[in-house]
Structure 1
């Protein structure tokens, strides 16, 4: 049996991603079993209901329980269940043959759940899946197609606001998934950091900057937020780390145009002059070719404490326009909480 490692030891990317997913489960379980049970309840509830399976998680404590021949005063029990995970980098990577072999690995008496984890939800409704579904039913196995996005949402949902350490862990897992291209939603995502003290620099140089040590998802769009609204929006064309020495940009992780270098230099100088911020080392820059004014308002009281991500499809039901100018105009009629 292969143990879960805190540091990846796999060369195959699917094993690498599975290991980090198991690590997320492991850390949530160690942190708080109640939170972990909430996570599993979300992931399993709908699938188990559809399959007609009833299940409970955790220790059950009852009193005055009949045994058939007597009634005991107290009774503690915990139902056993098994979960297997098959991970693919593409939903069409699952095959009926492989999943069928996985199903036969479950005990006919105990059954269990088989997660089919991929960036987009796997489709197992075709005729070539009929024998697999029949075998799963016979063994009491529920096939559960889930996405990395589903897992992240369920993990976030099982935590309270004050679970700061675990929220940071889930955020790091989310960033990992984004970096690996496992979140298709990123191409519709608006990254919105608070820019109350830097927005003039951000707008003038069409960029956002923050420490290189801060993990951020590979969102397609940048929103400059201040005064309770996203007031400017651009499409992120490059995310680059670099240093600035003697008025020159050096060590850039992406090839930069002369205009991009000038904008980075100007932002660095303005940040030092206006706020005393040193951007010459350990900084990452989110660069946009163009930026347009908009008014995507926060409708609830108070500002935002940290960055936010918005799936623009939830606010633009007619679709996300390709032109930034059109997107900026469409967002003027939308609000968020």
Structure 2
């Protein structure tokens, strides 16, 4: 499924790793009632931890591929070739192997995580897939294969609570959610990220609706005003809650945006996006500028 997602935008060589089932297939001497076809394929993966492979060495690997075959060459690392380098690699692959079609995939470990997250969102009842994503995610961050906190945007689906989140500028979730470090935060609703801000503070607390009692947990430092904001919001929400953390968002530096998802379907869980994939580095300076710029781009 990851291979299919990576190949979605490739118009030159559509790739179907699963068997293709057909019925009533016309041939020269009649019609075949049923046909099962598995396309021949070869995928070569060159992995580096913290640097890029030499291009000349990478190009030599093309010799293992064949004609009449789906060929994919992956470069997987915490460093990515830039657009000019990718264009040069593709050009030279065609020059060296003119009769062989080779798809080059220029991947970060974060790209694989993002694809795994997308697949799980579409198959959220698959617990084995969930565990695979969590294990690979933890490995990547514990091994320092991904470190993009300064540019990392976390956005969360809000659904029925969106108006409450937006009004009080508070979001809540289980304490163990969101293991990655991030700087920017967004509220997602109706296939678009609707706001951008930073996190003012995180409060871990329990709330009893019957007694209107708010019990603060943990050792985080918070102001009385932040606690009062949370108390007012939970009183209005009218639900007893425990085991949750509350992201308190800035009241004055909370900016609306419209960062649209253009691929099929919504999201079932939170997502991380590296803003450098959508904006120039000098555009990622503050939440207000990011919110304005994200109106001009889309994501899948």
> What residue is the counterpart of 2:263 in the other structure?
none
Instruction: Output one character per residue of 1:248-292: Cα deviation in whole Å (capped at 9) or x when no partner.
Output: 74445xxx3343xx466435533543323345x422333556742
Q: Does 1:42 align with 2:8?
A: yes
User: How far did residue 218 of structure 1 move?
Assistant: 4.8
How far apart, CA to CA, are the structure 1 residues paired with 2:26 and 2:155? 52
Whether the 8 Å CA contact 1:190–1:312 is kept in 2: the answer is: no
Instruction: Output one character per residue of 1:18-62: Cα deviation in whole Å (capped at 9) or x when no partner.
Output: xxxxxxxxxx4xxxxxxx78436427x35xx3xxx7876533754
> Which residue among 264, 270, 279 is the counterpart of 2:232?
270
Whether the 8 Å CA contact 1:84–1:113 is kept in 2: the answer is: yes
**Helix, strand or coil for the counterpart of 1:282?**
strand
User: How far did residue 145 of structure 1 move?
Assistant: 1.9
**Helix, strand or coil for the counterpart of 2:8?**
helix
- Cα RMSD of the aligned pairs, angstroms, is 6.0
Higher relative contact order (CA 8 A, sep 6+): 2
User: How far did residue 336 of structure 1 move?
Assistant: 8.4
> What residue is the counterpart of 2:42 in the other structure?
82
Whether the 8 Å CA contact 2:124–2:268 is kept in 1: the answer is: no
> What residue is the counterpart of 1:116 in the other structure?
75
How far apart, CA to CA, are the structure 2 residues paired with 1:184 and 1:226? 25
> Which residue among 201, 206, 211 is the counterpart of 2:174?
211
Aligned residues: 271
**Helix, strand or coil for the counterpart of 2:285?**
coil
Instruction: Output one character per residue of 1:282-317: Cα deviation in whole Å (capped at 9) or x when no partner.
Output: 223335567425443699xxxx99777688789988
Whether the 8 Å CA contact 1:60–1:76 is kept in 2: the answer is: yes
Whether the 8 Å CA contact 2:199–2:249 is kept in 1: the answer is: yes
> What residue is the counterpart of 1:16 in the other structure?
none
The unaligned stretches of length 5 or more in structure 2 are: 208-212, 261-265
User: How far did residue 76 of structure 1 move?
Assistant: 5.5
- Counting helix residues as a fraction of each chain, which structure ranks higher? 1
**Helix, strand or coil for the counterpart of 1:277?**
coil
- Counting strand residues as a fraction of each chain, which structure ranks higher? 2
